[in-house]
Structure 1
Amino acid sequence: MALRGPQLLLCALLLTQVAAETPTSKPKKAANARKDLVSPKMFEELKSRLDTLAQEVAVLKEQQALQTVCLKGAKVHLKCFLAVAQARAFHAAGEDCIARGGTLAAPRSEEENEALREYAARSLGAAAELWLGLHDLGSEGSWVDASGAPATFVHWETEITAQPDGGTAENCAAMAGAEHGRWFDRRCRDELPYVCQFAIV
């Protein structure tokens, strides 16, 4: 919303520039004058410039939103994390992260997992259990992230119980802060807090 003023100013400047580039001649008729002012070529050029500006404004909005997220959350390598304390079912949590411009957090290394655990402990409490962006809904035992890519890193609990142990009843992954950031499989309809992740571009 804060960018609406600059958008209008840019549009006005473009229209002024196009008008200034248009040769001025005394029209013979009013209809001919309108044709001379806006030729199809000029119209296409103006439309192309406006499309480019709209894309640039969208990128700026994305960058501004990401900066806000990183200021509120935590930055880890090429990701920002943002905790959401409101407990939701797995799918609702994932949709909320997408609406914010990210995805549910899915650590890809031991270092990322530990950073996520520490951030969640500060934001949600040391014993918090939270959703991860991993599931095996498509094929039992084949854990994938939000994009459908196979999980390249896993951190399942193995000392208390051999996780994942829920079979087809538990298809969504959660991190347990009380268990040093180890993962457990849970029923996707369970309601847990979560952390959204955003790629830093």
Structure 2
Amino acid sequence: MLSYSSCMLPAVAALLVTCHALPECPGNTELPEIPALSQRDGLIGQSHLSNGFRGQLGSLVSPPRRNRLPWENGLPNSLDTDPRDVIADLKHRLCRLEGVLVLNEKIRKVGDKIFASNGKKADFASALGSCEEAGGTLATPMNEEENKAVLSFVKQYNQYAYLGIKESETPGQFKYINSMPLSYTQWYQYEPNGKGTEKCVEMYTDGSWNDKRCNLNRLIICEF
């Protein structure tokens, strides 16, 4: 949820950076000691104050004019709007965008997961890096419905795809890339059979899985 404090953080950070960038910030300037004055003496224009010190006092009392900083001009109009209206508008826009992507077969939504592919191919490490850079990870089906969603991209592009699964330290045993044990599998008959030589997993065009070497180019399918 958007909050007023989160919107103000950039302004606060900018303010701190600006202050530290100045040669002298308020509070860091050492002022000379002011001589004791009698009750009848005024503060400005006394003969026992040097012209230089009067100049310093004058600059403190009447600082030079400067341009107002952005955050001193009040909140922008967008922040004066009811946050609930802003959130409702964002949700509406996201739903419309999601609908367009689904219509154009760019994404598949299953439960809380969204699967997507740009049709490009890469080896396992590069495919995983591309998904993580986009804020997701490699597609990792954990039930039949999710497996079908990934399969739809495999069929659409007619290309095998890497899954977010790798062989563990024990040959023949596989786990998710987050090191958790598999809770769902769809191995092709007699697979996996690489026994330590095929550490990655690909999906065939019938939705079944096969262990495979990690240096081959396969379709990139990400989940978010």
Give the TM-score category using the shorter length: 0.5 to 0.7
Which structure is higher in strand share? Answer: 1
Cα distance in 1, alignment partners of residues 175 and 169 from structure 2: 9
TM-score, normalised via structure 2 length:
0.54
Q: Match for residue 85 of structure 2? A: none
Q: Match for residue 52 of structure 1? A: none
How far apart are 1:82 and its partner, in Å?
Answer: 1.0
How far apart are 1:174 and its partner, in Å?
Answer: 0.4
Deviations 1:85-126 (A, max 9, x none): 22211111101100010000010011211122123322x12x
Amino acid paired to 1:119: F
Residues 204 and 210 in structure 2, CA contact (< 8 A), matched pair in contact too: yes
Cα distance in 2, alignment partners of residues 143 and 33 from structure 1: 73
Deviation beyond 6 Å, 4+ runs, structure 1? none
Deviations 1:127-148 (A, max 9, x none): x211001001533233122222
Q: Which has the larger radius of gyration?
A: 2
Cα distance in 2, alignment partners of residues 120 and 142 from structure 1: 24
Structure 1 position 170 matched with structure 2 position 211:
no
**More contact order relative to length (CA 8 Å, sep ≥ 6):** 1
Q: Percent identity?
A: 28
How far apart are 1:185 and its partner, in Å?
Answer: 0.4
Structure 1 position 118 matched with structure 2 position 152:
yes
Residues 148 and 192 (structure 1 numbering): CA distance in 2 closer, same or farther, change over 3 Å? Answer: same
Which structure is higher in helix share? Answer: 1
Structure 1 position 193 matched with structure 2 position 219:
yes
Structure 1 segment 99-110 matched on structure 2, within 5 A: 99-110=133-144
Q: Match for residue 129 of structure 2? A: 95
Structure 1 segment 1-201 matched on structure 2, within 5 A: 11=11, 30-31=59-60, 71=101, 72-122=106-156, 124-125=157-158, 128-158=159-189, 162-177=190-205, 180-198=206-224
Amino acid paired to 1:100: A
The SS at the match of 1:155 is: coil
Residues 90 and 189 in structure 1, CA contact (< 8 A), matched pair in contact too: yes
TM-score, normalised via structure 1 length:
0.60
Amino acid paired to 1:114: K
Q: CA RMSD in A?
A: 3.4
Cα distance in 1, alignment partners of residues 117 and 147 from structure 2: 14
Cα distance in 2, alignment partners of residues 189 and 69 from structure 1: 35
How far apart are 1:30 and its partner, in Å?
Answer: 4.3
